[in-house]
């Protein structure tokens, strides 16, 4: 071994030597030539170079790159490990495809008025390259889209018969402005320089709504909560969705889907792997659905799931009952994109949960949306085939004579049945009555004859399925085993909680909020069950009653009397709704038991970090409906690697929704305002629309999948729109008010300063005081416990009370401080002289300094004043930076710059504010000024 | 000109220690013998003084307890006065080595939280409050460092990104030592840094003994025949790209020592010293589709346990020879802090290539 090394080293040495000799001789000849020409002695300068050059061939260069240390220094930082700029091209690699692709001209004319629009949708790209479209510009009736491509390797795009070179896009990737035919598929060609240069075809589809134009035009909110016409597909035959209601609310889709059977009892929005570690987000089936398939009675489970995106596969893990395993599945909700103008009459309205049956096997309804409007039901039904082309509400006999009332099919519906592609006709029919057979005549195409049929729409008394989006995460307990709540949906409205609870059985038929004794005498407030809920318990079919009750308090037992059917008696019960408090859970330990001899453990399973859901926020605003750009946005939290931005605030029906975006594509959802919100990933950013309380701190939780396990991180965001709230003071503000303005604080008053010219004092709600020192910054003195809007440190130096250890480089200050606090201050305040010209930072830390006071030289020079020398400026900047690094706030005292003695003395007031002893300070000031006047 | 050449040659061939090793007032005794490490040198002087030179970084004079600091010392030499027992350890790779020296009690502060450690004793020491978290490399808790009487900050090269922080620590009177173990090309070069910690912590014999035990693992492979098998070592980054090691990195070196061939004969990130290289799936596919073994690097990405999970990352993996033959392996998370047992990973690779069970870091995907 050693022999080998020695030998190897010898060889190396010889190699180095030879290289060196060679290099030296080259150098010498070069030097000699140089000497001849310039006469200067180049040897001195070239010598070190020569050695260094030789060295580099053998030894690594000076460290420059941090990533060289390949350990991720903090496993908490996902971005660190990400490779920047690595582009992955779409799959089809057809090396021979040399032929140039072309595009044909598109019709990019639009009826939209000229202006800039923010698209509501942009689809296209592949799984490897994503396209996004931040804006569409309409000029002279022609639409041009700014198409952003996530990969910077794309150097041109062909569209509409032309070629467009790309430029770097500010948020990463590249962009090109191309003519676009809105709301339809556009075929484009992108050229990537990767893989030796290649043109790839893509189809993009960009949609706009007019409300997104620059001005905040009130958006006709796209009917929240209504069923959106769609089809749904899965990538697995065993995972079949037989029924789906897709609703869009606040730009967020949710679906109630019914599986063909009961083989899967839980779903999860994400992959099977994630599902296994994130039980908090498992979605259990909310009910059962009985249906008939090929003459066979079947049951399917019903689930309510969020739908993060439509028209593209979304991962949905399904939990197999049999295998007790999570399976990866993909579901695609395809929403028909309305050609030109959608017919508003087509809108089927809000689906009422129901089942539908006919009296004839040949007349099969496979899909039905029942809506109620002004007390009148109507249904959009889809027949299993195309054998009947017309319907008639009545008997066959009537139908034959009343052609005016024939209802022709309004569309076709393609679906799959037992692996076979099928088409059914869709009809819109009035429904004269529910829960009883109604006569519907059907016209057979083949026989050209009307047939008598009966259809029964069965509507359940109440939706058995809870409304998921309102639910506040909570647990519920009772004090009695016989009084068991198996399911609970807790909602909050106007700070009042209410719950829909489902009891385990039907033994209690009424509840009462209070004690049994009161209940017996207050029949007006008895709460009868509003519905039944069928469920399975240990393989047994069971039914429980559903009640809607007000919840007077959470996190404490509330009395609820229950009426026993059997005994006809009221019983005293207590129910506790526990809402998770949003305290971040400390990150879990790696959890391995230490052993005497440390042996590497084969990867402890990463534990997901899950936090509570932040409580409901009041998102009401006095702003008019429309889209706004925030005047200020700031945030805090997380490791700081991922940043958050807020591009717009949308106000709908008086509620504000912020569109926030994380600088990482790994954020799967955001918990905010009592709910979980799923977003979209475009161009490496994860974007979400969440309810927001404007002009105040909002706590949110973001979940990143970038770490070894799902990891929820708490952030605080602050979205400010001038005049959004407390708009009383939108009246013309005075100059003082303008100067005093600190975004996020409500200004109260300005102090009267008698003599001082170089400082001003402003007061704000919540006990905050600002000291504005001319050319030396604004300082905000904050009471110990006060909560500040995040990002306020951009507006002022924050000095949080109490100040107990002051270090000052200003002699004046030391004097004044001594004067105020006296010899025996309470609480004990340490005042220490500190020389900024020979800074001793260790002392600051040892004395736990919480305020450093610097002399007037730290102020910006006043107008006309001679600027400081470079050296002094650098020294000052250095002290500033270091104090900042140590987290010690710095205050600049300019009392020495005041012209009169009285003005100098008035700075005592400033120190009274800083130290929180204004009364004593003001008394000192009065005495001192009086003494001054006596002297005069 | 000729004089210069001669002077240079003399310097190269001479047996006197490097210039940096000459310290006024100290008498040079010997240089430390090293086997694989190239990023540091240690020279010993009479009286127990030792000079550690970290190549292209700095020189540190370790002064034994009770001995004076030599007068007239070059200002560029950083003085480390023993005992060094209130250390802030930011360089994670040092933990396993210091643990092997049974010297965790000399560490008081670290730059990684308890859940970030894979060295069990370190986790326990933090649990017991014997080691405290004191902020990351970029934002250390200076106040805690001062209040805890920190006497040495051992930093990874990350600190070079925040020179002001390094300066600040130095200004607070705490010497900063920057370790370069990650720059070692040879896997055991990393382990050999235990000798540096041995000097700092006055545990030289223990260090020597431990290193020799690890080095002997390699000796066993000295004569082995190359199996001719090819190995790809990679992970899929969150953007879908494939992250592989540069050919000059220590992992390819380990594969070679273990009798395999790294699938990329010559790959590096152009113009960078990075040990990791990002590839598109196509590029990776072209190079590695016929590799005999795939090893998934789970030190950064999540570990995977089944071949299906790999295929789920990209369906193209189904075409890979190694996938079809079931020769896909995954590393444990512990790997990147396991500077102490680099030799063990070589054994693992060898066992993988020769079809033997019994591994420490690697496991086979189902």
Smallest Cβ–Cβ distance between A70 and the set B116, B171, B276 belongs to B276
On chain A, the residues whose CB falls within 8 A of the CB of B301 are 81
Smallest Cβ–Cβ distance between B274 and the set A68, A91, A328 belongs to A68
Of A7-11, A586-590, B119-123, give the range with the top mean pLDDT: B119-123
- Averaged pLDDT, B171-189: 89
A730 pLDDT higher than 60: no
Q: Cβ A841–B274 below 8 Å, yes or no? A: no
* B283 against A48, higher pLDDT: B283
Cα B243 to Cα B74: distance, rounded to the nearest angstrom: 44
pLDDT at A287: 80
Cα A788 to Cα A799: distance, rounded to the nearest angstrom: 12
Nearest residue on chain A to B96, alpha-carbon basis: A598
A439 pLDDT higher than 80: yes
User: pLDDT tens, B87-143?
Assistant: 999 998 899 999 999 999 999 999 999 888 888 899 999 999 999 999 888 889 999
Q: Comparing A64-68, A147-151, A401-405, A811-815, which segment has the lowest mean pLDDT?
A: A64-68
Adjacent-strand bridge partners of A130: A125
A936 pLDDT higher than 90: no
Q: Cβ B136–A606 below 8 Å, yes or no? A: no
Cα A214 to Cα A853: distance, rounded to the nearest angstrom: 48
DSSP symbols for A414-430: EEEETTEEEEEEEEEEE
Cα A750–Cα A755–Cα A758 angle in degrees, nearest 5: 70
Q: Residue B172: pLDDT band by 50, 70, 90 thresholds?
A: very high
A349 pLDDT higher than 80: no
CA distances from residue A462 to A300, A476, B212 in whole angstroms, order as listed:
19, 22, 77
* A587 against A755, higher pLDDT: A755
Q: Comparing A14-23, A643-652, A763-772, which segment has the lowest mean pLDDT?
A: A14-23
Q: Cβ A70–B112 below 8 Å, yes or no? A: no
**H helices present in A2-142, as ranges:** 2-38, 43-58, 78-81
What is the arrangement of strands in the sheet containing A777-782, beginning at the earlier edge strand?
Answer: A747-750, A759-764, A769-773, A777-782, A797-800
- Inter-helix orientation angle A918-935/A901-915, to 10°: 170
Q: Comparing A159-173, A451-465, A678-692, which segment has the lowest mean pLDDT?
A: A451-465
**Residue written as token pair 């534990």:** A607
Cα A416 to Cα A235: distance, rounded to the nearest angstrom: 13
Question: How do A569-579 and A632-637 pair as beta strands?
Answer: unpaired
Q: Cβ B120–A882 below 8 Å, yes or no? A: no
Q: Cβ A71–B337 below 8 Å, yes or no? A: yes
Q: Residue A284: pLDDT band by 50, 70, 90 thresholds?
A: confident
pLDDT at A63: 38
Q: What is the dihedral of CA A705, A707, A708, A713, to 10 degrees?
A: -80
Cα A761 to Cα A778: distance, rounded to the nearest angstrom: 10
Nearest residue on chain B to A844, alpha-carbon basis: B143
Adjacent-strand bridge partners of A368: A381
Q: Considering only residues 7 to 36 of chain B, which have any Cβ-Cβ distance to chain A shorter than 8 Å?
A: 8-9, 12, 35
- Inter-helix orientation angle A918-935/A811-821, to 10°: 110
Cα A431 to Cα A420: distance, rounded to the nearest angstrom: 31
pLDDT at A826: 64
Mean of pLDDT over chain A: 76
- Averaged pLDDT, B2-13: 46
Q: Cβ A589–B114 below 8 Å, yes or no? A: yes
- Averaged pLDDT, B18-37: 83
- Averaged pLDDT, A682-710: 83
* B54 against A70, higher pLDDT: B54
Q: Is B105 on the interface with A (CB under 8 A)?
A: no
- Averaged pLDDT, A191-202: 73
Q: Is B190 on the interface with A (CB under 8 A)?
A: no
pLDDT at A824: 63
pLDDT at B149: 93
Cis peptide before A466 (omega within 30 of 0): no
Nearest C-alpha neighbor of A899 from the set A935, A856, A843: A856
Nearest residue on chain B to A28, alpha-carbon basis: B1
The answer, as to whether pTM is greater than 0.90, is no
Q: Distance (Å) from the C-alpha of residue B273 to the closest C-alpha of chain A?
A: 6
- Averaged pLDDT, A527-534: 82
Cα A829 to Cα A490: distance, rounded to the nearest angstrom: 50
Nearest C-alpha neighbor of A330 from the set A312, A355, A349, A350: A312
Q: Cβ A63–B93 below 8 Å, yes or no? A: no
DSSP category for residue A224: T
- Averaged pLDDT, A570-584: 72
On chain B, the residues whose CB falls within 8 A of the CB of A879 are none
Q: Cβ B142–A59 below 8 Å, yes or no? A: no
Of A25-29, A217-221, A485-489, B52-56, give the range with the top mean pLDDT: B52-56
DSSP category for residue A343: P
Nearest residue on chain A to B275, alpha-carbon basis: A68
Q: Comparing B37-41, B205-209, B222-226, which segment has the lowest mean pLDDT?
A: B222-226
A89 pLDDT higher than 60: no
Tell me whether residue A171 is exposed, middle or buried, using C-beta atoms within 10 angstroms of its C-beta: 0 to 12, 13 to 18, 19 or more: middle
On chain B, the residues whose CB falls within 8 A of the CB of A604 are 333
Q: Distance (Å) from the C-alpha of residue A60 to the closest C-alpha of chain B?
A: 8
Q: CB-side exposure of A683: number of CA atoms within 13 Å?
A: 19
Give the containing element (helix H, strand E) for B255: helix B250-257
Cα B360 to Cα A355: distance, rounded to the nearest angstrom: 59
DSSP symbols for B132-178: EE-B-SSSB-HHHHHHTT--EEEE-GGGGG-HHHHHHHHHTT--EEE
Q: Is B207 helix (H, G, I), strand (E, B) or coil?
A: helix
Cα A175 to Cα A156: distance, rounded to the nearest angstrom: 9
Q: Comparing A17-21, A100-104, A243-247, which segment has the lowest mean pLDDT?
A: A17-21
User: pLDDT tens, B214-257?
Assistant: 888 778 887 788 899 999 999 988 777 898 988 888 889 889 98
State the count of interchain CB pairs (< 8 A) between A and B: 215
pLDDT at A436: 82
A213 pLDDT higher than 50: no
Q: Comparing A55-59, A123-127, A251-255, B91-95, which segment has the lowest mean pLDDT?
A: A55-59
Radius of gyration of chain B (CA): 22
Query: Is the alpha carbon torsion for A807, A811, A813, A819 positive or negative?
Result: positive
User: pLDDT tens, B293-303?
Assistant: 999 998 777 78
Q: Comparing A251-260, A504-513, B196-205, which segment has the lowest mean pLDDT?
A: A251-260
Adjacent-strand bridge partners of A227: A247
Mean of pLDDT over chain B: 87
Q: Residue A604: pLDDT band by 50, 70, 90 thresholds?
A: very low
- Residues of chain A with pLDDT > 70, as a percent, come to 77
Cα A38 to Cα A44: distance, rounded to the nearest angstrom: 14
- Inter-helix orientation angle B204-219/B342-353, to 10°: 10
Q: Cβ A91–B147 below 8 Å, yes or no? A: no
* B264 against A351, higher pLDDT: B264
Smallest Cβ–Cβ distance between A68 and the set B136, B171, B273 belongs to B273
């Amino acid at each position: 071994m050693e022999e080998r090394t020695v030998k190897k080293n010898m060889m190396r040495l010889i190699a180095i030597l030879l290289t060196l000799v060679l290099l030296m001789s080259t150098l010498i000849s070069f030097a000699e030539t140089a000497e001849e020409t310039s006469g200067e002695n180049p040897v001195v300068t070239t010598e070190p170079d020569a050695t260094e050059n030789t060295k580099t061939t053998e030894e690594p260069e000076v460290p420059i790159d941090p990533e060289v240390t390949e350990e991720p220094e903090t496993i908490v930082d996902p971005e660190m490990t990400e490779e920047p700029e690595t582009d992955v091209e779409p799959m089809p690699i057809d090396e021979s495809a040399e032929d140039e692709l072309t595009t044909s001209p598109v019709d990019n004319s639009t009826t939209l008025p000229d202006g800039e629009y923010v698209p509501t949708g942009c689809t296209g790209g592949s799984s490897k390259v994503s396209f996004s479209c931040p804006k569409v510009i309409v000029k002279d009736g022609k639409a041009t889209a700014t198409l952003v491509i996530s990969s910077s390797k794309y150097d041109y795009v062909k569209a509409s018969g032309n070629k467009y070179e790309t430029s770097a896009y500010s948020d990463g990737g590249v962009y090109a402005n191309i003519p676009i035919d809105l709301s339809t598929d556009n075929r484009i060609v992108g050229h990537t320089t990767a893989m030796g240069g290649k043109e790839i075809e893509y189809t993009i589809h960009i949609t706009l709504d007019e409300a997104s134009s620059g001005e905040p035009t009130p958006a006709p909110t796209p009917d929240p909560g209504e069923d959106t016409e769609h089809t749904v597909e899965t990538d697995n035959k065993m995972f079949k969705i037989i029924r789906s209601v897709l609703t869009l609310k606040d730009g967020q889709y949710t679906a109630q889907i019914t599986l063909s059977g009961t083989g899967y009892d839980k779903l999860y929005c994400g992959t099977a792997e994630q599902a296994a570690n994130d039980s908090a987000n498992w979605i259990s089936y909310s009910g059962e659905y009985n249906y008939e398939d090929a003459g066979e009675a079947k049951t399917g489970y019903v689930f309510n799931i969020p739908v993060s995106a439509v028209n593209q596969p979304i991962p949905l893990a399904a939990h197999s009952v049999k295998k007790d395993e999570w399976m990866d599945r993909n579901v695609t909700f395809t929403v028909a994109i309305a050609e030109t103008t959608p017919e508003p009459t087509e809108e089927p309205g809000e689906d009422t949960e129901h089942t539908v049956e006919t009296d004839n096997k040949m007349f099969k309804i496979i899909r039905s949306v029942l809506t109620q409007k002004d007390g009148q039901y109507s249904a959009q039904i889809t027949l299993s085939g195309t054998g009947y082309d017309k319907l008639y509400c009545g008997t066959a006999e009537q139908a034959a004579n009343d052609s005016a009332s024939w209802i022709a099919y309004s569309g076709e519906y393609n679906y799959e049945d037992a692996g076979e592609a099928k088409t059914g006709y869709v009809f819109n029919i009035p429904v004269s009555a529910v829960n009883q057979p109604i006569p519907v005549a059907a016209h057979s195409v083949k026989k050209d004859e009307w047939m008598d049929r009966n259809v029964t729409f069965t509507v359940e008394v109440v939706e058995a399925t809870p409304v998921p989006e309102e639910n506040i995460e909570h647990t519920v307990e009772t004090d009695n085993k016989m009084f068991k709540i198996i399911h609970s949906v807790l909602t909050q409205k106007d700070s009042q909680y209410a719950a829909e609870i489902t009891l385990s059985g039907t033994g209690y038929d009424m509840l009462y909020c209070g004690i049994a004794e009161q209940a017996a005498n207050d029949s007006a407030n008895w709460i009868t069950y509003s519905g039944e809920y069928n469920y399975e318990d240990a393989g047994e079919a069971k039914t429980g009653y559903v009640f809607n009750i007000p919840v007077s308090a959470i996190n404490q037992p509330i009395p609820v009397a229950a009426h026993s059917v059997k005994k006809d008696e009221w019983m005293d019960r207590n129910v506790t709704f526990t809402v998770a408090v949003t305290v971040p859970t400390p990150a879990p330990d790696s959890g391995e038991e230490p052993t005497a001899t440390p042996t590497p453990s084969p990867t402890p399973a990463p534990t997901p970090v899950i936090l509570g859901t932040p409580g409901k926020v009041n998102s009401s605003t006095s702003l008019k409906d429309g889209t706004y750009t925030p005047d200020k946005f700031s945030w805090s939290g997380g490791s700081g690697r991922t940043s958050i931005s807020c591009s717009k605030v949308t106000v709908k029906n008086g509620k504000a929704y912020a569109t926030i975006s994380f600088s990482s594509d790994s954020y799967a959802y955001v918990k905010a305002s009592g709910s979980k919100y799923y977003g979209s990933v475009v161009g490496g950013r994860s974007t979400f629309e969440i309810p927001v309380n404007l002009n105040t701190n909002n706590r949110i939780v973001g979940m990143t999948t970038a770490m070894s396990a799902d990891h929820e991180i708490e952030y605080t965001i602050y979205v400010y729109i001038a005049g959004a709230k407390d708009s009383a003071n939108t009246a013309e503000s005075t100059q003082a008010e303008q100067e005093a303005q600190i975004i996020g604080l409500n200004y109260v008053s300005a102090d009267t300063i008698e003599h001082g010219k170089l400082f001003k004092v402003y007061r704000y709600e919540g006990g905050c005081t600002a000291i504005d020192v001319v050319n030396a910054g604004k300082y905000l003195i904050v009471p110990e416990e006060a909560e500040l809007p995040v990002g306020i440190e951009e507006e002022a130096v924050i000095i949080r009370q109490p100040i107990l250890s002051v270090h000052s480089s200003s002699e004046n200050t030391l004097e004044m401080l001594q004067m105020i606090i006296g010899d025996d201050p309470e609480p004990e305040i340490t005042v220490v002289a500190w020389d900024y010209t020979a800074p001793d930072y260790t002392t600051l830390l040892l004395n736990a300094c919480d305020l450093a006071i610097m002399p007037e030289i730290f102020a910006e020079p006043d107008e006309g004043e001679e600027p400081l020398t470079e050296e002094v400026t650098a020294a000052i900047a250095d002290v500033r930076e270091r104090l900042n690094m140590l987290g010690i706030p710095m205050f600049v005292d300019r009392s020495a710059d005041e012209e009169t003695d009285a003005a100098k003395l008035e700075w005592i007031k400033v120190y009274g504010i800083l130290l929180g002893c204004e009364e004593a300070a003001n008394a000192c000031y009065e005495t001192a000024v009086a003494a001054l006047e006596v002297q005069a | 000109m000729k004089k210069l050449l001669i002077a240079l040659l003399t310097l190269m061939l001479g047996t006197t220690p490097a210039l940096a090793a000459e310290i006024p007032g100290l008498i040079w005794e010997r240089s430390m013998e090293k086997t694989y490490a190239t990023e540091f040198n240690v020279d010993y002087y009479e009286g127990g003084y030792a000079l550690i030179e970290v190549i292209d970084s700095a020189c540190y004079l370790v002064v034994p307890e009770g001995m004076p600091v030599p007068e007239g010392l070059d200002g560029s030499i950083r003085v480390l006065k023993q005992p060094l027992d209130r250390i802030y350890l930011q360089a994670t790779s040092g933990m396993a080595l210091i643990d092997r020296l049974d010297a965790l009690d000399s560490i008081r502060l670290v730059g990684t939280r308890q859940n970030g450690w894979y060295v069990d004793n370190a986790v326990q020491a933090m649990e017991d409050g014997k080691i405290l978290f004191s902020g990351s490399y970029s934002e250390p808790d200076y106040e805690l460092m001062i209040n805890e009487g920190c006497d040495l900050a051992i930093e990874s090269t990350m600190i070079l990104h925040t020179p002001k922080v390094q300066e600040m620590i130095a200004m607070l009177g705490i010497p900063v030592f920057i370790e370069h173990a990650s720059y070692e090309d040879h896997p055991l070069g990393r382990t050999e840094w235990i000798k540096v910690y041995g000097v700092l912590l006055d545990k030289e014999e223990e260090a020597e003994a431990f290193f020799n035990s690890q080095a002997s693992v390699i000796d066993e492979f000295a004569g082995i025949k190359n199996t001719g098998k090819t190995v790809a070592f990679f992970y899929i980054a969150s953007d879908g790209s494939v992250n592989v090691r540069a050919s000059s990195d220590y992992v390819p070196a380990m594969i070679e020592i273990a009798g395999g061939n790294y699938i990329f004969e010559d790959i590096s990130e152009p113009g960078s010293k990075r040990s990791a290289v990002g590839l598109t799936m196509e590029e990776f596919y072209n190079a590695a589709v016929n590799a005999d073994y795939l090893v998934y690097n789970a030190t950064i990405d999540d570990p995977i346990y089944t071949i299906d999970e790999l295929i789920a990352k990209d369906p193209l993996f189904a075409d890979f020879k190694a996938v079809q033959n079931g020769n896909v392996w995954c590393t444990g998370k512990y790997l990147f802090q396991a500077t102490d047992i680099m030799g063990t990973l070589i054994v693992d690779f060898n066992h993988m290539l020769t079809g033997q069970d019994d591994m420490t870091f690697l496991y086979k995907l189902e």
